[in-house]
A and B are shown apart, each in its own frame.
Chain A
């Protein structure tokens, strides 16, 4: 019905967060004056990892919006959600948002956290294996 609104809201928040983090990272690089490529391996910036979550949330939401249109649950006229037109359906819609919608957000975020954890471990391992003259 409208479960998709929950991951979409999360996507809006993470997109704004990614923009803020990215601008802070750029500022830090400028302050440290280390923008030039030293040729050594560097850790992936967090903003880039946050973009993975954005892509999953926006992409998934986009395809699910299409599914909702396919099933006639989203319409091009106000209130846009067919379930929002009467009180009984609105109650079911809110229940679905609280269960399925929140579940969708949790599973996507959990998978992203696992991805970040695994890649961070891989980065640490790769940096350890780097020859000492390159890390300087």
Chain B
């Protein structure tokens, strides 16, 4: 579930980046790479998990699925927070800079 949620987040981000952020003004490329990196890592984890647990891996209990869903959503939210921090620190559109140092004229 965690892997699925992250892959969906990565795919949606990539589509939005392709459509809107050609000049990297919103740093959406960074968010895409964060989600794709996590998706690939969780994919490897899932492959090893399925090799170890076999069929049991694909039939999780409802409680485990719910826990994994919350984890996936929380991870996606954390990815968004990291992206926002990067966006505000790098400030490609100078929004933060202009807000902090308002010109007097």
Residues of A within 8 A of B (CB): 3-4, 7, 52, 55-64, 66-67, 70, 99-100, 103-104, 107-108, 111
Contacts and interface: CB of A to CB of B under 8 A. Distances in A.
B34 interface: yes
Interface string B51-91: 00000000000000000000100110011001000000000
Interface in B4-63: 6, 29-30, 33-45, 47-48
In this complex, the interface size class of chain B, counting residues with CB under 8 Å from chain A, is 20 to 34
Contact of A55 (B30, B48, B78): B30
Contacts, number: 78
B84 to A, nearest CB: 13
Contact of B79 (A3, A63, A108): A63
Interface of B: 2, 6, 29-30, 33-45, 47-48, 71, 74-75, 78-79, 82
Say whether chain B's binding surface is mostly helix, strand, loop, or mixed.
helix
Specify which of A3, A55, A58, A59 lies most central, judged by the most chain B CB atoms within 10 Å of its CB. A59
Contacts of A63: 6, 34, 37-38, 41, 75, 78-79
21 contacts: A4-B41, A7-B41, A52-B33, A55-B29, A56-B33, A56-B40, A58-B34, A59-B35, A59-B79, A60-B38, A61-B41, A62-B78, A63-B41, A63-B78, A66-B78, A70-B74, A99-B48, A104-B45, A107-B41, A107-B43, A108-B40
Contacts of A107: 40-41, 43-44
Contacts of B79: 59, 63
Nearest to A108: B40
The 8 closest A-B pairs by CB, nearest first: A59-B34, A60-B37, A56-B37, A55-B33, A63-B38, A60-B38, A103-B44, A60-B41
Given A63-B6, A67-B75, A56 B36 contact: yes
A108 B43 CA distance: 10
